[in-house]
Amino acid sequence: MLFHVRMDVRIPHDLPADARAETVAREKAYSQELQRAGTWVRLWRIVGEYSNFSIFDVGSNDELHDVLQGLPLFPYMDIHVTPLAQHPSSVA
């Protein structure tokens, strides 16, 4: 199942710098692991924002929920999920 996911990151300004750096490093490692596994299919930065558009390929809604909750930055994110279906006019 494919999902379009927008993630807007809002790290609190009062989070200590060392905690922020450690969380961001864990986020990068986790996201790259998911990309290598084929779960996180595409990742695009939204210019001028601490946000991204992503495509996930998972087996179920619950699996996507677990993947997203596993993100180290999850507590600081606003996430919007859109399920995707094949368009009948698509040649792909």
Task: Give the per-residue pLDDT at 12.
Answer: 97
Long-range contacts of 25-32 (CB under 8 A, 24+ apart): 26/72, 27/71, 27/72, 27/73, 30/70, 30/71, 30/72, 31/71
Task: Give the per-residue pLDDT at 92.
Answer: 80
Whether pLDDT at 29 is above 90: yes
For the chain, what percent of residues have pLDDT higher than 70?
A: 100
On whether residue 9 sits in a domain, the answer given is: yes
| Chain centroid offset of residue 1 CA | 15
pTM (two decimals): 0.92
Amino acid making up residue 87: H
For residue 59, the domain's CATH number is 3.30.70.1060
Tally of domains within the chain: 1
Are 77 and 7 a contacting pair, CB within 8 Å? yes
Domain holding 44, by residue range, is 2-84
| Residue pLDDT, tens place only, 39-60 | 999 999 999 999 999 999 999 9
Q: Which residues pair with 81 in a beta bridge?
A: 5
Mean pLDDT of 78-91: 96
